[in-house]
Amino acid sequence: TQTKKKSTWASVNIPIPAGWDGTIVGGGRNEYQIQPAAEGAKVIGTSLYCFMAFLPDSYEVGLNDVAKQNKASIYACDSYDVFHSWKSAKAGWDTGEATLSNTDVFINVWDNMLNSGKFLTADWTVKVDADAVLLPDRLKSHIAGLRPPAGMPIYLKNNAMDPGLGNNGFLGAIEVFSKQAVEIYRDNKE
C-alpha cells in the first residue's frame, strides 16, 4: 500500500509500513499563535544571544569582518558567537532542480551553539546568516511590542511570503527563538 506525498516540488509515493492500522501516535505538532501577556503579567525580556556561521574563504568572511568592525549585526547583540561552516553538496530532485544538502552543516552549527551555553544567558537566541541584515535594537523593540508571556517556547515568524511556498512564514536568514524553545530543541534533538 502506498500514499502520495505532495509538496511544491514533487509528488512521491510513500510506502506505508506493513501492519500499520492507521493509528496516529504522538499527536500533532501544529503551530499556534501565542497571545500577548495580560497587563501586569510577566513577559519574556529582550536580551539577545546571536550567532552566525560563515564559510571560510568566501565572501561571507568580508561581511563578518565589516559587521564586527562596525559593531553591527550579531556584534550589537547582548552576547554572540561566530562559527565556521563548510561547503554543502547539492542534491537533485526528480524535476531536474537541485538544492543544497546542508542539514549536517546546520546540525553541527547548532550543536556548537548549544555547547557554548551562551543561549542560557539571554531571553532570545537569534541565528543570523552573514549576508542578512540584523538590527538588534529594532528586534528588541519588536519583541517588547509583542508582549510574549514569560516561560513560553516561541519562535518568531519572519516573513509573510506566499504560504504555497511551504515556508509557513519562516525563512532561515534570521531565526529567532525564545530560550525555552531552544531548551526544548536541546532536550529533544536526538
Sign of CA dihedral 61, 141, 152, 179: positive
Task: Assess contact for 92 and 98: CB atoms under 8 A.
Answer: yes
Q: Which of 99-103, 149-153, 167-171 shows the lowest per-residue confidence on average (mean pLDDT)?
A: 99-103
Share of the chain above pLDDT 90, in %: 58
Which is more confident, 167 or 66? 66
Per the listing, cell 536526538 goes with: 190
**pLDDT (0 to 100) of residue 109:** 93
Q: pLDDT of 90-117, one tens digit each? A: 666 556 665 555 677 888 999 999 999 9
**pLDDT (0 to 100) of residue 78:** 98
Predicted structure pTM score: 0.78
